[in-house]
Structures are given as structure tokens and as C-alpha cells.
């Protein structure tokens, strides 16, 4: 059961990352390509980071506070990872 929860968290973070990149990216012919190319790796990385953080740091809290911390930390991790991946992909394609 824990394995299915982990897979669902990773799939949810992938969907959120792809949606965020799709909304943020300008309206051009590369929009869908960039959303999948950035969103999928960012979602996988953020999901794994959240699962590790959840297992070690958030497990000892009471239930009400733990749920709030889990939601906030999940959204923060997804936002940071997606922003870093968007900057990294632009550094690869547009070197200075």
C-alpha cells in the first residue's frame, strides 16, 4: 500500500509540474514539448525529495500539523524544483 501511495505522490508532482510549466511557458509551438521536457523530470525529482523529507522529518508530528506541513512542503518543493529545472533547460539551450 505504501508503494502505491509513493507512486501516486510522484505522479501528482509530475502533473503539477507539467501544468505549471505549460501555464508559465509563452504561447509558441514549443509549449507542449517544453512542458513535458521540464515537467516530467522536475516532478520525479520533487516527488522523491518530498518522500524522503516526509519519511525523516515530518513523521514525528501530530496529525493536524503534519498534514499542513506536508501540503506546504510538497508545494514548495515542486515550485523550487520546477523553477530550477526551467532555468537549467534554458542554460543548456542558450549558453552565454
Is residue 93 pLDDT above 80, yes or no?
Answer: no
Is residue 86 pLDDT above 70, yes or no?
Answer: yes
| Residue 43 φ/ψ, nearest 5 degrees | -65, -40
Q: What is the pLDDT, as a whole number, of residue 90?
A: 67
Over residues 10-26, mean pLDDT: 89
Q: How far apart are CA 57 and CA 52, in angstroms?
A: 8
pTM: predicted TM-score of the whole model, two decimal places: 0.82
Q: Domain residue spans in the chain?
A: 2-93
**64-73 long-range contacts, CB within 8 A, separation 24+:** none
* Choice between 57 and 76, residue whose per-residue pLDDT is larger: 76
Q: How far apart are CA 78 and CA 67, in angstroms?
A: 16
- What torsion do the CA atoms of 55, 58, 60, 66 make, to the nearest 10 degrees? -130
Q: What is the pLDDT, as a whole number, of residue 91?
A: 67
Amino acid at each position: 500500500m505504501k508503494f502505491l501511495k509513493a507512486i501516486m505522490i510522484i505522479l501528482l508532482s509530475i502533473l503539477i509540474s507539467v501544468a505549471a510549466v505549460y501555464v508559465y511557458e509563452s504561447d509558441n509551438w514549443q509549449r507542449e514539448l517544453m512542458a513535458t521536457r521540464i515537467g516530467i523530470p522536475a516532478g520525479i525529482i520533487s516527488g522523491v525529495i518530498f518522500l524522503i523529507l516526509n519519511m525523516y522529518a515530518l513523521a514525528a508530528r501530530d496529525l493536524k500539523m503534519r498534514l499542513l506541513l506536508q501540503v506546504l512542503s510538497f508545494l514548495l518543493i515542486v515550485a523550487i524544483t520546477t523553477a530550477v529545472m526551467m532555468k537549467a533547460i534554458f542554460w543548456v539551450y542558450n549558453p552565454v
